[in-house]
Amino acid sequence: MKNRLTQKTKNIIGEKRYKKLRSQIHMGLLAINSRFFPTLAKIGKIYQTDKVYHSFSGLSYLDIYEKYFDQFRGKKISLLEIGVKDAASLRSWKSYFKKGNIYGIDIDPSCKELEEPRIQIEIGSQDDEELLRNCFGSDKKFDIIIDDGSHVNKMTLASFNILFNQRLKNRGIYIIEDLGCSYEKLQTDYNVLAIWPGMKYNDPVKSYDNDRKDMDTFFLENIERLDHQIGNILSIHFYSMTCVITKI
């Protein structure tokens, strides 16, 4: 049927004009697609999330995430991000997932004011077990969880242990960002409690110096479990500074 139509069109307008028309239609479709379904990187630039500027070898976080997020586009998904700041990333997710509900956790109380339709925010620390278990309703499960909070290893792991196991759906995606920080003595060398946005709300008595061994142990134990076909991790993909973990 398609072949007959093609042949008929070619007979009427000629081979050369047919090729030109076909390429014009193709270009038009691409333009419509990018107008109505812009890439995640394009959206991130509009909302000015710094995820668009973290890049290695020409690939930003958002270019990487889009490979995983594309399957959820157009669906009524739930995405939770730890670390709201000015809501630039939450707004990017909201724009990309037109039917999605976006949830944020941040320790800075002023973040609560950034709520808007389809964006809900709860205030608290990412190592507060009660918050992690109950935020947005204990029955709520998420398709995607992103940790862009304190980047303090112990907190990153506390969040993962509860959120991945109890709050992420099967086949869900969990992202741990900015792994470069996991090697750093964040407080001693960078004074992060005073310098990084929102960090001053953390308990000054706790330690904010990272020991990379904590993350290495966590990753190695889970890789071993994966190799022995136990546990609930399906894959761990490492990229520069970020890591994408999927659930069975």
Ligand X SMILES: C[S@@+](CC[C@H](N)C(=O)[O-])C[C@H]1O[C@@H](n2cnc3c(N)ncnc32)[C@H](O)[C@@H]1O
The contact mask relative to ligand X for 110-149 (x = CB under 6 A, - = no) is ---------------xx---------------------xx
* Structure tokens belonging to residue 33: 């697609």
State yes or no: residue 157 binds ligand X (CB under 6 A). no
Q: Residue 138 is encoded by which pair of tokens?
A: 């204990």
Q: Which residue is nearest to ligand X (CB)?
A: 198
CA-CA distance, 131 to 163, in Å (whole number)?
10
**151: annotated active-site residue:** yes
Using CA atoms, how far residue 34 sits from 31, 37, 38, 237, in Å, is 5, 5, 5, 28
Q: Is 231 in the site for ligand X (CB under 6 A)?
A: no
CB count in 10 Å sphere of residue 83: 23
Active-site choice (26, 54, 151, 228): 151
Judged by CB under 6 A, does residue 244 bind ligand X? no
- Supply the minimum distance, in Å, between the C-beta of residue 102 and ligand X: 11
Comparison of 14 and 85: residue with beta carbon closer to ligand X: 85
CB 190 within 8 A of CB 184: yes
When asked if residue 88 is in the footprint of ligand X (CB under 6 A), the reply is: yes
At 240 the three-state DSSP class reads coil
Asked if 91 touches ligand X (CB under 6 A), the answer is no
Minimum Å gap between C-beta 99 and ligand X is 21
229/62 Cα distance (integer angstroms)? 30
Question: Which range binds ligand X by CB under 6 A, 6-14, 22-30, 48-56, 135-143?
Answer: 48-56
- Examine residue 84 and tell whether it contacts ligand X (CB under 6 A): yes
Q: How many residues bind ligand X (CB under 6 A)?
A: 24
In eight-state DSSP terms, residue 112 is G
SS3 annotation, 41-66:
HHHHHHHCCHHHCCEECCEEHHHHHH
Give the binding site for ligand X (CB under 6 A).
Answer: 49-51, 81-85, 88-89, 105-108, 125-126, 148-150, 155, 197-199, 202
